[in-house]
A and B are shown apart, each in its own frame.
Chain A
Amino acid sequence: MDIRTTGGPPSAEEIAAVDGFLGAPESLWEGGARVEADDHLAYGGLATRSRRHLLLPVLHAVQDRAGWVSRGALEYACRRLSIPPADAYGVASFYARFALDERPPLAVHVCDDIACKCAGADALCDALEKGFGPAGVPGASGSAAWYRSPCLGLCDRAPAALIERAGKHHAEARVAPAGYMSLSAILGGRWPDSETSMHAQPRKESRLLRRVGVVDPTSIDSYVQAGGYAALRRALELGPDGVIREVTDAKLLGRGGAAFPTGRKWDAVAKAPARPHFMVCNADESEPGTFKDRVLMEGDPFGIVEGMTIAALATGCEQGYLYVRGEYPQARGRIENAIAQARAHGFLGADVAGSGLSFDIEVRRGAGAYICGEETALFNSIEGKRGEPRNKPPFPVAVGLFGKPTLVNNVETLVNVLEILNHGSAEYAKTGTAESAGTRLFCLSGHVRAPGIYEVPMGTTLRALIEMAGGLREGRSLRAVLLGGAAGSFVTESQLDVPLTFEGTRAIGATLGSGAVIVFDDTADLEQVLLRIARFFRDESCGQCVPCRVGTVRQEEALKRILSERNQSLRETDIALLSDIARAMRDASICGLGQTAASAIGSALIQLKIAGVN
């Protein structure tokens, strides 16, 4: 392919960043300097183009080094990977965390999403605006800027911020809870000394969380001493069919949101005739109010690696990917360390635990796109493309990553697999209800006294769960609970006795979704929350299909009018319009984002009688 680049040359720093990741180019054909052989010999071609999937890692390398991706840098990456610049620009501009205009090296991303709003994020942003100018505009010093961000997965320590410093020694850190004092010091150039560790408090009956906060997450020896890799040994004894039978008998349902039977999925991948098969762990966790996968990755990274290994060996995969959202630096570091140690100890690689089977894992880092949690968008992202979901069918089990049969599982799903193999499917299925087996991690945030991760048997009531999190503050009453995050729905006081199971929530028209439980007391400004949800979907729509691309904008416009309109009849017209939009988004959108983008807002208007809706 003839790559035409007309921009200026990349800077030495940008070249160093790209070459630091890809290695130095060998010839003119790979974007290097002309060597004599180049005049006689052309190479690269398919071999170079097949490295296209490295585009996102390369863009990350540039952004980490320079703070933004210039035209020269993008075009250099294009020549190195043989990607047309217009195509690569389309990819880079898709992801919120890649900056395509020059910006200062120091960036402070302040969460103004739902849980942080409950903890004063709006006042914090107002203060930052007064002190440092509007979001996205470099301050007076020119060396730093602050940005508004969707949920950072730190809702238990709201309000949260993620800070990042580009350069040779790129650094990221989280500040949570964040205050004006701490952020203004950082914007003034003072990097914080240390990041507070943010572990879940393990409870006695914990299963999925049994190692979190107990076993050293950085040491494979501690993991093995605590019983780690016993499940893999059991899996190797059982063989692929036996493992799939156990997972099926345990009635495990996926924890990523869609609640698909895990055993059935594994069986389909195992039987898929095309080769190779791929295994993907979905750690993109970007649903507002959700942070359970982060806690697992930070606190039990070896467990996830072991779970992926078992899943891969049962379904015939030799290559795995773990796609972790860009905003989780510590989780990423822990997982990368766990993979390296597992490899060094023979638990990954050409001969996994002496089985003669081969499996290895590569970590991929998201770049600020909620939609990349959707499994087919995630494949496109790993392949170095825009994170646009694919139409289904075909389903991933037949045509997935790189067009091959692919097993995708959520982080929490994989940790459940360890429990099933360590204790047997019969024992596992004893917990929970007939249709929803096992325990479930819930992410409590908002107006509860002790926000955090709570593991409870399926079937526990929402009321009991909120009690476990310390209930409401003194003297406050409950206004609503948002179950399942922005893609979920609101429930009220009268529904608190709903058993938290897939079937129980379905019966009241709600969903467990990602396990997010955001609690609002009578001080909450729910109108602001609804507007934030509308903005979230507008910002995060991939833009591919009309019902969602335009529908999320029309929804936000109609909601703004409804909340400000005093004339009842005009308001009713807009409410009818909103429901027309909602129906088309639900029915005609390509993927789950568009299909659920109206659910929380619709449920709020009806359940909470906002704007006089009955």
Chain B
Amino acid sequence: MASGVFVGLPRRMVTVTIDGVDVQATEGTTILEACRGLSIDTPTLCQLENLTPVNVCRACVVEVEGSRVLVPACSRKVEAGMKVLTDSERVRHSRRMVLEMLASSVDMSLCGPQVRGWMTQYGAQPQRFGPGAATVAQPVKIDNDLYVRDYSRCILCYKCVEACGVDAQNTFAIGVAGRGFDAHIATEFTVALPESACVYCGNCIGVCPTGALMFKSEYDMRQAGTWDESQQTVTETVCPYCGVGCMLELHVQDNSIVKVTSPLDHSVTAGHLCVKGRFGFEFVQSRKRSE
């Protein structure tokens, strides 16, 4: 019996006004996408193209006419006639406060230049909460040979949990535990990773924006003071292990692979790998063959 497959109605275009400019956007896309279409820079900390929006950081909030509160640009869909302000005093205030609150409680020193740019742009002064401000500072967790977890750097963006769960890995080795300011990323009863369900795919490392999750190789080099990104090259290749065809980016310093990533926009991986592609590079640099 043949039957048609319903693929959904064709997407309509809607007109929205962003900062006074009328733009056409595809129905079902987000305000953030529309902003990016206009080259409006929007701070985002918990959003990533390859993950479901969780809209928790609130760095991307914008003002939408008719809404009592600000709305997250990363998850709110455009609607016909929507009027959006992305740079009002109200928006700037909340963005600044979000950045200040995070930077006052979390070690954000390893966040990329983009985050530092936002800090400057919004005039964030995390020190103004005073020296007694509570932080999430805690010892680094080193419980396996492949990667370390430094939750003093965790902004609780939920990305690692999503990557470990239905958005990529489906292993569910980590989750958000506790609540309020005590909320944190944890395995069950905070057991060490080798005791947990973790399969060391490293997809959580791939999405972590703060350096809280880090290759052990990178961590050791940073500790030794030898980590130097200016001395690193990136070589693109295809993972040699199986036939899927995952693209690897080998980060190489001093002729050694120091970490492995995959591009977020790659059609096969969407940035995600398995333990072999992510960590199985020791053989490449093994000197044993030639000995």
Contacts and interface: CB of A to CB of B under 8 A. Distances in A.
Interface of A: 1-4, 6-7, 71, 74-75, 84-90, 93-94, 100, 369, 386, 391, 393, 538-547, 549-554, 557-558, 561, 577, 580-581, 583-584, 586-590, 595
Contacts of A85: 187-188, 196-197
Contacts of A1: 170, 172
B70 interface: yes
Interface in B166-193: 170-183, 186-189, 191
A35 to B, nearest CB: 25
A100 B98 contact: no
Interface centre among A543, A551, A595 (most CB of B within 10 A): A543
B275 interface: no
Contacts of B59: 546
A550 B196 contact: no
A297 to B, nearest CB: 26
Given A391-B72, A588-B69, A89 B186 contact: yes
B188 A550 contact: no
Interface of B: 55-59, 61, 69-70, 72, 75-76, 90, 93-94, 97-98, 101-102, 104-105, 128-130, 132-134, 155-156, 165, 170-183, 186-189, 191, 195-197
Contacts of A71: 188-189
B174 A552 contact: no
Given A4-B196, A89-B177, A557-B130, A549 B183 contact: yes
A581 B132 contact: no
25 contacts: A2-B197, A71-B188, A75-B188, A86-B173, A90-B176, A90-B177, A94-B177, A94-B179, A100-B189, A369-B179, A542-B179, A542-B183, A545-B55, A545-B58, A549-B181, A551-B97, A552-B180, A553-B180, A557-B134, A580-B97, A583-B97, A584-B101, A587-B90, A587-B93, A588-B94
A522 B132 CA distance: 33
Contacts of A88: 188
- Residue of A3, A75, A589 ringed by the most chain B CB atoms within 10 A: A589
Contacts, number: 163
B58 A90 contact: no
A257 to B, nearest CB: 15
B69 A543 contact: no
Given A546-B101, A588-B70, A94 B178 contact: yes
B93 A580 contact: yes
A554 B133 contact: yes
B55 A391 contact: yes
A516 B204 CA distance: 45
A587 B70 contact: yes
A595 B57 contact: no
B56 A545 contact: yes
Contact of B175 (A87, A542, A551): A87
Contacts of B58: 545-547, 588-590
A594 B280 CA distance: 45
Contacts of B196: 4, 6, 85-86
Contacts of A89: 175, 177, 186-189
A584 B122 CA distance: 14
Describe B's contact surface by its main secondary structure: loop
B55 A86 contact: no
A550 B181 contact: yes
Nearest to A87: B175
Nearest to A390: B55
Contacts of B195: 6
Contacts of B72: 391
Nearest to B53: A391
Contacts of B75: 391
A33 to B, nearest CB: 22
B102 A386 contact: no
A551 B98 CA distance: 9
B70 A577 contact: no
Contacts of A552: 180-181
Nearest to A71: B189
Contacts of B132: 557
Given A7-B189, A87-B172, A588 B180 contact: no
B57 A545 contact: yes
A540 B179 CA distance: 8
A543 B179 contact: yes
A577 B129 contact: yes
A587 B179 contact: no
A587 B170 CA distance: 35
A69 B287 CA distance: 51
Leading 9 A-B pairs by shortest Cβ distance: A543-B183, A84-B172, A584-B97, A90-B175, A85-B188, A550-B101, A588-B94, A89-B188, A541-B180
Given A391-B75, A587-B70, A588-B94, A544 B56 contact: yes
A86 B169 CA distance: 14
A258 to B, nearest CB: 11
A419 B201 CA distance: 60
A369 B55 CA distance: 22
Contacts of B173: 84, 86
A85 B191 CA distance: 11
Residue of A100, A580, A587 with most chain B CB atoms under a 10 A cut-off:
A587
A547 B178 contact: no
B67 to A, nearest CB: 10
Given A6-B191, A543-B183, A549-B183, A561 B56 contact: no
B94 A551 contact: no
A587 B61 contact: yes
B238 to A, nearest CB: 28
A85 B183 CA distance: 17
Contacts of B171: 84
Contacts of B156: 543, 549
A85 B195 CA distance: 11
Contacts of B94: 547, 583-584, 587-588
Nearest to B55: A391
Nearest to B171: A84
Contacts of B76: 391, 393
Contacts of A543: 156, 176, 178-183
